[in-house]
Structure 1
Amino acid sequence: MSRFWVGRLTQMTAEEERELLAHLERLRQEHRDLDVAIQALQDMPGSDQLQLARFKKRKLQLRDRIGYIEDQICPDIIA
């Protein structure tokens, strides 16, 4: 089983990386789905502003989580 370093102090197996990549893809898909839902809600007259705010908040949470996971997979190392 191959192992490689990810991040500063953590070590990740190839299987763990595959699982993380699959999770990352699910988060990206949810982020794209929220884009569509937000646009549809904005285009609707009299749309539910509370629901729109919730969607936008969730989208920001996803963006942060996606960035965190991407950093775990491929850290930005300044040499």
Structure 2
Amino acid sequence: MSLSSHLQELRKKHQTLSDAVEAAHRSPGVDDLKIANLKKQKLRLKEEITRLTPQTVH
């Protein structure tokens, strides 16, 4: 798998988690711990994306 396709897959997973967090916030019966875990997963993906994304030097 190329870096580009790997990043694309990570971004897709990040968006899916983002959607899940939003849906959980709208659902009154969702446990706060579940939301916190979703947010942690989302943050880990964001950090991985940032780490793998080539940085431009100015």
Question: When the two structures are superposed, what TM-score results if normalisation uses the length of structure 1?
Answer: 0.67
**Which structure: greater strand fraction?**
1
Pairwise CA distance, 1:47: 1.0
Query: For 2:55 and 2:12, how far apart are their aligned partners in 1?
Result: 22
Say what the alpha-carbon RMSD is for the aligned residues. Answer: 1.3
**Which structure: greater helix fraction?**
2
**Structure 2 residue aligned with 1:29, among 2, 7, 12?**
12
Query: For 2:55 and 2:7, how far apart are their aligned partners in 1?
Result: 15
Q: Which has the larger radius of gyration?
A: 1
Q: Name 1:61's counterpart in structure 2.
A: 44
Pairwise CA distance, 1:50: 1.0
Question: When the two structures are superposed, what TM-score results if normalisation uses the length of structure 2?
Answer: 0.88
- Stretches of 4+ aligned residues off by more than 3 angstroms: none
2:26 is the alignment partner of 1:43: yes
Q: Name 1:13's counterpart in structure 2.
A: none
Higher RCO, Cα 8 Å, sep 6+: 2
Pairwise CA distance, 1:48: 1.4
